[in-house]
Structure 1
Amino acid sequence: MSLAAYRHLLRSARIAFSGDVHVLSAAQNQIRQTFLENRSLDSSGIQAAIRHAEDVATILRENVVQGQKIESKGDEHTFKLRIHEHTERGDNDSVLTAGSGGGCGCK
């Protein structure tokens, strides 16, 4: 089970950081180091660590979007976002209803 979580996390990092060798390498090293540190956990700790790894994998795969600067004019910069097939796309219902007395002071 931990091996599956490890592989899932590595795949998600490859998806999230595709094309950015430096960040991908750092993420892979961090994943490897964290799993090595968690080798001595008891069974309940291992289960919690596996859940955490799966949650992180989901966030990396669905919520991390890379931006690449493609143009700069003075203080203005243009970025291209790499949105892929796994990127979560909401329907914005929560944004549309946010003005109904939320914490921002909007009415």
Structure 2
Amino acid sequence: MALAAYRNILRATRLAFQGDVGVLSAARMKARDDFDASRALDPKGEDAKKAVAHANDVAKILRENVVQGQVNDDGRYKLRIHEHTERGDNETIKQNKGKNTLSGVKCCSA
């Protein structure tokens, strides 16, 4: 269970940070450190299950919500969007346009 989650994270980092060796190695080091810190957990315990679920959630976010951008010569950014990148239609944003937020101030108002 934990090994599958670890492999899931490694695959997600490879996809999210492809071509950026520094960030890729830092992300993999962080994943390894976090898994090493959880090594002492009882594999059948609730804490281990929560840690595995958290790792799978992180992998999902890396795979679907993280994109790389690189500045072109003309100052524009080129995004590397892949087949796993989540693409929304912004309908939920359009529906809430002009409504008040929790703070009582309209969204995006000056």
Q: TM-score, normalised by structure 2?
A: 0.87
Which whole-Å CA distance do the structure 1 matches of 2:35 and 2:22 have between them?
Answer: 20
Q: Is residue 65–residue 87 contact of structure 1 (8 Å, CA) maintained in 2?
A: yes
The RMSD of aligned alpha carbons is 1.6
Aligned length: 103
Which whole-Å CA distance do the structure 1 matches of 2:76 and 2:88 have between them?
Answer: 24
| Structure 1 residue 101, shift from structure 2 partner | 1.2
2:76 is paired with a residue of what secondary structure? strand
Q: TM-score, normalised by structure 1?
A: 0.89
Higher relative strand content: 1
Identify the residue that residue 50 of structure 1 maps to in structure 2.
52
Residue type matched to 2:106 in 1?
A: G
Q: Is residue 16–residue 66 contact of structure 1 (8 Å, CA) maintained in 2?
A: yes
Identify the residue that residue 79 of structure 2 maps to in structure 1.
81
1:46-74 per-position Cα deviation (integer Å, ceiling 9, x unaligned): 101000000000000000010011125xx
Structure 2, unpaired ranges of 5+: none
Which whole-Å CA distance do the structure 1 matches of 2:37 and 2:12 have between them?
Answer: 20
Structure 1, unpaired ranges of 5+: none
| Structure 1 residue 95, shift from structure 2 partner | 1.4
Q: Is residue 71–residue 79 contact of structure 1 (8 Å, CA) maintained in 2?
A: no
Which whole-Å CA distance do the structure 1 matches of 2:66 and 2:15 have between them?
Answer: 9
Higher relative helix content: 1
Which runs of at least 4 in structure 1 moved beyond 2 Å after TM superposition? none
